[in-house]
Structure formats: structure tokens, C-alpha cells
Amino acid sequence: MSGKRGNGEGSIYPYKNGFAAYAWVTTPDGRKKRKYVYGKTRTEVHDKWIKLHAEAKKGPVATSAPTLEQYLTYWLREVVEPDLKPKTAETYAMHVRLYIAPGIGHKRIDKLTVRDVRTWVNDLLEQCQCCAQGKDARREEPRCCAVGRCCDQVPSRRTVQDSRAVLRSALTNAMTEELISKNVAGLVKVRSARKVKRDPWSVEEARKFLEAASTARDPLYAAYVLILVLGFRRGEVLGLTWQNVNLDAGEVTVQLQLQRIRRRLVHDETKTEASTAVLPLPAICVTALRVRRKEQEAAKQAAGELWTDSDFVFTTRYGTPIEPRNFNRSFADRTSKAGIRRIRLHDTRHTCGSLLAALDVHPRIAMQILRHSKIAVTMEIYTHVPSEATRKALRRLGKHLGKQDRK
């Protein structure tokens, strides 16, 4: 095809090894600018030119592609925060802030390549985050990286995998908005991390822990009963309100959770729809909650004007919600005082599953109690069936703990 311009193609002209064209557009900041399109043939450029004119008529058009960091900032603000749960949005923002932006945030989003992403992933797997984030340098008395003794605090493979997943999600949205033509993050694979084998408490250890909490008249005793017997998550037990507890009917509604997000406590819906459920309260739970209500009334009288009215089941001595991290500390301290091995608070859900398996509870019912979204998750628990001795101990557990309940 010749280089002669056709009718209406005054803005199309030969350029390097092909052709180029421009159209006047209004940018997002309200200014008038030329936006260029390129192609190997006049026909290709003409099609792009027509499309550009159509876009300009619809509204503002960006004349240059943003850097990845600029786009991620927009994506978090306009897409993630409005559409996802606050905790999920916070997690996405954390991955962007700590891992993605420092590594490849300076790259233009339309120039990002598979090689760029692969190099970033490989570097991240070997990069000490204490050095990269200046953790030791911020200490009053540096003790490792800032004084030349690198602690090699590299991120776990799971962390790198999650960061790549966040980047892939952002680039998928960029494709939807037609900023890029392909998702380069989706073309880079990260070998899955091995699952960490958890070793939750045995039935005997759970019994010993609850006995110790009951004997010590621990104000969080009822909370420990709920996380061990009903598999409550930390946020669910701290977000539980008296409105959702029916002691006469022996039922509790799991509906809300309490989490600290961006330096403030958020009382919001549970993690998923499957997490919301009405659960039956075993006798030990009813007894523990009745005691908790009496203790809370006593604390209210003692605090007087300092008391903050709230409907939370578990509060501080002044009626305020309990900080999630403080609950972790209390659990760890009670574990130590009980003289049993320390486990993560979240691992108590696995203990609950073991108790249900030892009681020969049908997996479908256990799935309902544990509020798993998939039966496969529940069945992982049932692949480790307790011994007969453990079963007998569990049968004694309810009776034994019933005697320990405060009246």
C-alpha cells in the first residue's frame, strides 16, 4: 500500500517501519493532549485511530500508561477496597507495599514482561526482608542486618506465591480496562510451598487446658470453651454479641467477627457465607456463658462510670472490646500456666475437628459445625482418626469438664 493519505486520514503518517496517527483527547486531569497509535500498516493504524476517536467521545483518555505502582495504587483504591472485605483489602495492600512495589513498581504497566516478573519472583525468594524493609535499622539498638550480620529473613514460598497472585489479580483488571493485552504474571509459575503439618492438641491436652482455665477462674474461660468445642475463630469469638446468644434455647449464631484493620477495630460480617451459621450449644458451653454473663455484670458494677456499654460477650474490665493480639497473648499465657505445649490459636480448630472425629460425628455434621466451605477440608481431619484410648478419654471429657464448670 502506498504512503498516500486517504480521505479523513490527515492525522495518519509514515513513521519508522510503519505508520502512526494521533487524535486530540481530554486527559483525566482535564487537559487537551494528543494521543498516538502505531502499527505496521495504514489499515491497522486507521482501525486504531477510529477506535481512539470513539474513546475520546465517551470520556477522558489517558495519554500515557502508568507505572505498575501507580496502577496498583488506583486498583487498591477503586477496585479492591470497594469490592472485597476490609481484611482482604488490607492483605492485598500489604503485599503491594512490602513486596510488589519495591521490586517492580517502577516498570510501566504496558512494558512489563514475563522476564521482569520471573526475575522479581526469583529475587524475592532470596531477598532478606529485614534488609529490604530496614527492620533492624529502625530498632533503637540494631542487632543484625544494620550492623553487618544479615539474618537472612527471606519470605516464605507461600508469601511469594501470594504476592504473585495479587499481582496477577491486578493485571487481570488492567486487561479488563484494556491497558494491557496479556497478563504476564499469569505466565510465571511459583512452585507451591509444602503444607506445614500441624500437630494440634490431643483430647487430653485440651481437657488439661480447660481445667486449668476453669480452676484459675480465667475471665476468658468461656471463650476457650467456644474455640475448642465449637471451633470458633479468634475474630468470631471476640465479635460475639449477647444478641446472638440464646442460652435458653441452647443456640448461638455465628454472624460477626472483630478484627483490627488499619489501626482500628472493625466489627464486620464473618469470613464467608459458609462461616455464618446457627450452632447448638453443648451443656459445657451454656454453663460457661452463664458464668461469663455474671462476671461481666460484676465487672460493670465495679467499673461504675468508667464502663463502656457494648453488647460484646467478651470485654475488658471496662466493657471495651478485647484486642485480638491481646487475646493471643492471653491464650499463650494460659497455655504456659497449664503446663502443656504451645500451639497456634488457630490450631484449636483442628483440635475441635479431632474431638468431633473421636466422637464419631458424621463428616457432614462436622463440616456444618466447623463451617468449612468444602467437605474435602473436613475430610482431611478424618484421615487422622484418634485411637480407642483417645475416644474413651473424650467420652469422659464432657463429664469431667462439667464438674469443673463454675456455678
Final residue of a domain: which of 40, 58, 76?
Answer: 58
Mean pLDDT score of the chain: 84
Same domain, 83 and 29: no
Same domain, 94 and 213: no
Same domain, 220 and 150: no
Q: How far apart are CA 99 and CA 109, in angstroms?
A: 16
pTM above threshold 0.75 = no
- CATH number, domain of 144, equals 1.10.150.130
**Residues 258-291: tens digit of each pLDDT:** 888 878 888 887 766 656 778 888 778 888 899 9
- CATH number, domain of 216, equals 1.10.443.10
Answer for the pair 400, 207: CB distance below 8 angstroms, yes or no: yes
How much is the average pLDDT of 130-153?
A: 90
Cα 375 to the center of its chain, rounded Å: 21
Range from 151-160, 162-171, 176-185, 338-347 carrying the lowest mean pLDDT: 176-185
Residue with the larger pLDDT of the pair 113 and 60: 113
Label residue 407 by pLDDT band (50, 70, 90).
Answer: very low
Q: How far apart are CA 354 and CA 366, in angstroms?
A: 10
Final residue of a domain: which of 39, 58, 77?
Answer: 58
Side-chain-facing half-sphere of 293: CA atoms under 13 Å? 14
pLDDT > 50? residue 300? yes
Answer for the pair 125, 154: CB distance below 8 angstroms, yes or no: yes
Answer for the pair 174, 180: CB distance below 8 angstroms, yes or no: yes
6 falls within a domain = no
Dihedral angle, C-alpha 60, 63, 69, 70, nearest 10 °: -30
pLDDT at 274: 56
Same domain, 271 and 232: yes
Same domain, 249 and 393: yes
Q: Which domain holds residue 43?
A: 12-58
pLDDT at 8: 47
Answer for the pair 200, 347: CB distance below 8 angstroms, yes or no: yes
How much is the average pLDDT of 27-38?
A: 81
User: How many structural domains comprise the chain?
Assistant: 3
pLDDT > 90? residue 124? yes
